[in-house]
Amino acid sequence: SAVADVLRARGHVVHEAAPEDVTDLDGYDAVVLGSAVYTAHWMPAARDFAARLAGDLRRRHVWVFSSGLATQPAARANSPHELLALMQDVGALGHRAFAGRLLRSELAFAERAIIAGARAKEGDHRDFDAVRGWAQDIAEHLHAVAPRAAATA
């Protein structure tokens, strides 16, 4: 991922894993947790990860990000109360919302109908410069507090 690439380039040890594959955070000083936003909510696997490991996450440097439809800022696609509660539960240092990718050909009929109603614009709208810039901010923070911190993305 773009976040992991930046952190590695800045000298951090990075392990990328799907949320459902992570059983503990032993050996990690930082976590970057992200999710696509679907029907105004984070995906269940990311929400479950945050709930399951909230205590461990609060003892680490944590950042969260959301990726949503390009026709509306991803921050608006998140339920504000749900996202704020998740951030508080894990002790997140910050949240960033990014535009995502929408390919109707990958959606089921019902999903296409929902997307049509939302008037979402098809295509890849990810801004990797913005993602890399945010990752640079994370790397700078980690260098300031723990020069050889390990990170997971």
The Cα–Cα gap between 147 and 143 comes to 4
Name the residue with higher pLDDT: 150 or 115.
Answer: 115
Whether residue 111 lies inside any domain: the answer is yes
Whether residue 152 lies inside any domain: the answer is no
Of 59, 78, 58, nearest to 68 by C-alpha is 78
How many domains is the chain partitioned into structurally? 1
CATH code for the domain in which residue 66 is found = 3.40.50.360
Which residues constitute the domain of residue 25? 2-146
Token duo for residue 88: 């508080």
Whether residue 153 lies inside any domain: the answer is no
Q: What is the pLDDT of residues 73-87, one digit of tens each?
A: 555 546 678 899 999
Where residue 18 falls among pLDDT bands split at 50, 70, 90? very high
Whether residue 43 lies inside any domain: the answer is yes
Residue ranges of alpha helices (H) inside the chain are: 2-9, 44-52, 54-58, 74-77, 80-90, 109-118, 128-145
Q: What DSSP element (H or E) covers 147? A: none
Radius of gyration of the chain (CA): 16
Q: What's the mean per-residue pLDDT of the chain?
A: 86
Token duo for residue 21: 């594959």
The Cα–Cα gap between 127 and 70 comes to 10
Whether residue 118 lies inside any domain: the answer is yes
Whether residue 108 lies inside any domain: the answer is yes
Sort strands 101-102 and 41-42 into parallel, antiparallel or unpaired: unpaired
Name the residue with higher pLDDT: 45 or 70.
Answer: 45
The Cα–Cα gap between 127 and 123 comes to 12
Q: pTM for this structure?
A: 0.83
Whether residue 60 lies inside any domain: the answer is yes
The Cα–Cα gap between 45 and 56 comes to 17
User: Per-residue pLDDT averaged across 86-96, rounded?
Assistant: 96
Report percent pLDDT > 70 for the chain. Answer: 86
Q: What is the pLDDT of residues 22-49, one digit of tens each?
A: 999 999 999 999 998 877 889 999 999 9
**What pLDDT is attached to residue 71?**
44
Whether residue 151 lies inside any domain: the answer is no
**What pLDDT is attached to residue 75?**
54
How crowded is residue 4: how many other Cβ atoms within 10 Å of its Cβ?
17
Q: Are 54 and 93 in contact (CB under 8 A)?
A: no
* CA-based end-to-end distance of the chain: 8
Task: Rank 15-19, 33-37, 105-109 by mean pLDDT and report only the highest.
Answer: 15-19
